[in-house]
Structure 1
Amino acid sequence: MKRQPREPKPFYKASHKAWYVQKDGKQHRLGPVMDDEAKRLYHQILAASPDEKPADPVVAGDDPIVATLIDDFLFSVQQDVKREKLAPRTYDWYYYHLSKFAAYLGETKLSAFKKTHLKKWLETDYPDAGNNYLNGAVRTVSRLFNWSIENELITANPIAHFKRPSYTPRECYLSEAQWKTVLSVLKADGPFIDLMNFLRLTGCRPHEARIVTDAHFDGDSLVLERVNSKSKRKRRVILLEGKALEIVKRRAGNGFIFTNHDGNQWTSYALNCRFTQLRKKLAKKLDKKDQFPVFAYAFRHSFITDALKRGVNPSTVATLVGSSVEMISRVYSHLYQDNDHLRAEMRRAVG
């Protein structure tokens, strides 16, 4: 006798401060409490056939609850990740911010939503965040409402013309002397030093270094595919020379190339924590006037700037690091910080 599938039960989603039920791979919002209305919606959703889209449990006419739009948007992003149209970290980024936004808004309907909701949410959940972080949070909300318009769920973006905090690229160029200082405070941290050295010698993105495995290594390069901003798959080749090749050869054979002391893959959270600890150690070692910022992407910035200073043309540099010429000049190049180099180039320019 064929066993009957279990009936899905309601569950409380603390991140959204609401009850949900999952059916056919999608989570349906029932409400902040399991009252009679939530139970009615629960049974209505269970009764719907797989091909039949049940009435949205929290849409009243054309006035949806904003948190429901968030659920639908996140589900759409999740499906795109499964179809390999988007990278998993894209979903993580949206979920991180929008789940907090949904919890803050509760049962706020679109008609009652104002830009002040967004402003107060940022002040409540991110009181100490910098402009770059806040800029990213607002971008996720903006994308949510634009997606809702594209899918004819709403007719206008309620945060149009909201003044988003300005984004300023982090300025960081690590000199050779600063790199030696970094090594001096990390006396016995082989896995972390290997990872930083690899970033410094290849200019690759920290995310790329975290995910490369033995399967990506073909003897003298690492070959992986990534999804670009237009949802197209692109082949990414990280060429290995000298010490970078030696590091990969030495670390290959255990699955992920770069792992921590426990042999586990580096997560973005763990890596951020490690750099936070590093900055604290540097702060103790150096006088305030000699302190310098260091973070994972600083090595990519430095690699690109050094390559340009050595005369490698911008188009080639862009290809080597998997970027564009426009991005290289707008974000990564820190030549203007090197006054001696600029003066030498000026003398060369005027003959």
Structure 2
Amino acid sequence: MDLSKVGEREKLKAKQEPYWQRLRTGCYLGFRPSKRGGKGTWIARAYDEDAGKYRVKSIGDYGTLAGNEMFAAAKRDAEALAVLVEAGGEVRTKIETVADACREYAKTRPEAEKRFRRYVYSDPVAKVKLAKVRRRHLKEWRDRLEAQPALVTRNKAGDKRTRQRALSTVNRDMAVFRAALGKVLSPGAPNSEAAWQEALQAHRNADGRRTLYLDREQRRALVGAIVDEAAPFARAMCLLPLRPGALAALLAGDFDKRTAELTIGKDKTGKPRRIQLPGEAAKLFTMQIANKLPTAPLFMRNNGKAWDKSSWKLPIGAAVISAGLPSGASAYTLRHSTITDLVSAGLPLLTIAQISGTSAEMIERHYGHLASSAATEALGTLAL
């Protein structure tokens, strides 16, 4: 790639990933064409040997310069960045736009990063300068979010089946966005255009608890009806109260068969945790890591890839129908059912929260009624 030629740059198609030109070892200059016909943005990338990764910095559009002068100026600034990084200097990314605020917030929050990729980074709101954020910007973003249908499933032919986005899902998407902006913006005066926070207020009474429950016999039926490829993954969902995404992200090296300990690193909380597996679960996990490298997916599909939301929906949906289970049962139904059983068995709510990777407050809010029922039964045994 030769970015020094104005004519060649003008032919480039707009895309998210910059076009890179190597200036020297460990030093690159990038150019991202504008989707709206602007002059585009220049990006510098320099390798940090101490950190073992590249440092990336947007260096502007050089809009005051003529087209044939932009490359020279951008090249000079990219090389200066490389010198700074190689000398051990710290490069701080400027947080200027909504997208910048979201990326900074999501650095230690994988779940937030996923939502931002789906609903923020590609949206017009991403480019709004933080100093110019107004309630209308976020109201328009919210309207676009609520108008997007939610994907229910996809068949083998690739056809999608969707439904209207649930208000509880909208609340979760807005919550992380509101938190990211709250780190860098102060609440605006109520009932004014500066009151950006008012556009992201949650829908009331939308976060109802899950009610569809599968008992042990129904879960056995689902595992028995599912295709062989997905059976280990579904069985693990029935043995542990983990999120499907966290289970799918596990690597073979995350399970220590000597101690039967499992390290769960990629989860909604973003914080690694270790749990001790009981005998049946440990046996299943030991079988799954056999003859696998530590970096291989612990639960692997036939194509060698890890399971994800798009791939587990179809086999679980087919098994639900085949086993004659209630419609609407999903991977998350299995998580809800295992948590329900643990609460009903009298396990402390804090312990359940730690195992499942959520807060005790959430367990109390959604499952506390079960604990109250168990307490009532226990008190009933005191009758004389």
TM above 0.5: yes
Which of the pair has the greater relative contact order for Cα pairs under 8 Å at 6+ separation? 1
Of residues 165, 170, 182 in structure 2, which corresponds to 1:129? Answer: 165
Q: Which residue of 2 aligns with 1:348?
A: 381
CA RMSD of aligned residues (A): 4.5
CA offset digits 1:69-99 (Å, max 9, x no partner): 1332244246x3xxxxx14444233222211
Of residues 212, 216, 219 in structure 2, which corresponds to 1:176? Answer: 216
- CA drift of 1:246 comes to 1.6
Length, aligned pairs only: 313
How far apart are the structure 1 equivalents of 2:44 and 2:321? Answer: 52
- State the AA in 2 paired with 1:293: G
Matches within 5 A, 1:301-316: 301-316=336-351
Q: Which residue of 2 aligns with 1:76?
A: 104
Of 327-336 and 129-138, the range deviating more from structure 2: 327-336
How far apart are the structure 2 equivalents of 1:138 and 1:315? Answer: 27
Query: What secondary structure is seen at the aligned counterpart in 2 of 1:94?
Result: helix
Q: Which residue of 1 aligns with 2:141?
A: 118
How far apart are the structure 2 equivalents of 1:319 and 1:55? Answer: 34
Q: Which residue of 2 aligns with 1:98?
A: 120
- State the AA in 1 paired with 2:297: F
How far apart are the structure 1 equivalents of 2:92 and 2:274? Answer: 46
How far apart are the structure 1 equivalents of 2:350 and 2:133? Answer: 49
TM-score between both structures, scaled by the size of structure 2: 0.63
Query: What secondary structure is seen at the aligned counterpart in 1 of 2:331?
Result: coil
Change (3 A) 1:146 1:249: same
Q: Which residue of 2 aligns with 1:83?
A: none
Matches within 5 A, 1:1-351: 4-5=23-24, 8-12=29-33, 19-24=40-45, 25-26=55-56, 28=58, 45-48=74-77, 49-50=80-81, 69-77=97-105, 80=107, 86-102=108-124, 110=132, 114=136, 115-126=138-149, 128-149=164-185, 158-160=196-198, 162-165=200-203, 166-186=206-226, 189-219=227-257, 220-224=259-263, 226=265, 233-234=271-272, 236-253=273-290, 254=292, 255-270=296-311, 274-279=312-317, 282-283=320-321, 286=324, 291-332=326-367, 335=370, 347-348=380-381
CA offset digits 1:167-199 (Å, max 9, x no partner): 33433321123214423532xx23422112112
- State the AA in 2 paired with 1:145: L
How far apart are the structure 1 equivalents of 2:251 and 2:265? Answer: 14
CA offset digits 1:95-147 (Å, max 9, x no partner): 22211333787899826661532343224445831112211232243234223
User: 1:149·1:156 contact (CA, 8 Å) conserved in 2?
Assistant: no
Identity %: 15
How far apart are the structure 2 equivalents of 1:112 and 1:324? Answer: 33
How far apart are the structure 2 equivalents of 1:39 and 1:169? Answer: 58
> Which blocks of at least 5 consecutive residues in structure 1 are unaligned?
57-63, 81-85
> Which blocks of at least 5 consecutive residues in structure 2 are unaligned?
1-21, 46-54, 85-89, 151-163, 187-192
User: 2:254·2:264 contact (CA, 8 Å) conserved in 1?
Assistant: no
How far apart are the structure 2 equivalents of 1:107 and 1:324? Answer: 34
- CA drift of 1:265 comes to 1.7
How far apart are the structure 2 equivalents of 1:208 and 1:228? Answer: 5
- State the AA in 2 paired with 1:102: P
How far apart are the structure 2 equivalents of 1:324 and 1:104? Answer: 30
Of 191-200 and 319-328, the range deviating more from structure 2: 319-328
- CA drift of 1:208 comes to 3.1
- CA drift of 1:260 comes to 1.1
- CA drift of 1:259 comes to 0.8
CA offset digits 1:229-261 (Å, max 9, x no partner): 997x55x22322232122111111313221112
Change (3 A) 1:131 1:30: farther
The structure whose residues are more often helix, as a share, is 1
